[in-house]
């Protein structure tokens, strides 16, 4: 008596093949992505900037043209200018690490650095509360 019938081997191969496909899809979906800056106007994602292109770029978003962002070639980005009264967004300085964020509350803008769901990056970054 043979231990495996031909159909058993086929079933096993099909299961293994299916597992490989699912595993491949999972790896693709969760692969480590380069960091990027997501800029939100209130809760609306209005711009995504890749930080790994070595670009030197000064730009605004259509929703708030008086707020100026600066992307540096080293992959950091900041609020360069803003018409807000407190300038907290400008004081936040350059950010580049996943989990970091900067915000301009008067203009309803938040900018956060994100990447793929990577266990090596912090979930959040804190530093300096924004009120007394």
Partner 1 sequence: MRLKTAILAIILVISLASCEARADQRYEAQFLQLFDTITQIIAYTGDRTEFEGQVDLIYKELEEYHKLYDIYNDYEGVANIKTINDNAGIAPVAVDPRIIGLLEFSRHVHETTGGNVNVAFGAVLRIWHEYRNAGIDDPENAKLPPMELLMEASLHTDIDRMIIDEEASTVFLADPEMSLDVGAVAKGYAVEQVALSAAKNGFSSGLISVGGNVRAVGIKPSGEYWNIGIQNPDTSSLNQNLHVVNLDGMSLVTSGNYRRYYTVNGVEYHHIIDPATLYPSVHFDSVTVLNADSGLADALSTALYIMPYEEGLALIESIPGTQALWIGHDGAIQYSPSFSDYIKK
Determine if 115 is a binding residue for partner 1 (CB under 8 A): no
Determine if 130 is a binding residue for partner 1 (CB under 8 A): yes
Q: Using CB under 8 A, pick the residue from 10, 23, 32, 83 that binds partner 1.
A: 23
Determine if 128 is a binding residue for partner 1 (CB under 8 A): yes
Residues whose CB is less than 8 angstroms from the CB of residue 91 and which lie 6 or more positions away in sequence, other chains included: none
If one counts every other C-beta atom within 10 angstroms of the C-beta of residue 89, the result is 24
Q: Which is nearest to 130 in space by CA: 95, 96, 106?
A: 106
Rg of the Cα atoms in the chain:
23
Interface with partner 1 (CB under 8 A): 3-4, 8, 11-12, 15-16, 18-19, 22-23, 26, 40, 42-43, 74, 76, 85-88, 91-97, 99-101, 103, 105, 108, 110, 112, 117, 119, 121-132
């Amino acid at each position: 008596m043979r231990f495996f019938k031909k159909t058993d081997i086929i079933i096993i191969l099909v299961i293994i093949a299916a597992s490989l496909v699912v595993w491949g899809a999972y790896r693709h979906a969760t692969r480590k992505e380069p960091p990027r800056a997501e800029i939100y106007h209130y809760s609306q994602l209005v711009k995504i900037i890749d930080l790994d292109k070595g670009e030197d770029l000064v730009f605004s978003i259509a929703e708030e043209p008086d707020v100026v962002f600066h992307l540096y070639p080293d992959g950091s980005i900041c609020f360069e200018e803003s018409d807000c009264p407190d300038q907290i967004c400008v004081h936040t300085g350059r950010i580049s690490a996943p989990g970091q964020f900067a915000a301009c509350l008067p203009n309803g803008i938040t900018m956060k650095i994100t990447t793929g769901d990577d266990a090596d990056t912090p979930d959040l970054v804190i530093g300096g509360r924004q009120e007394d």
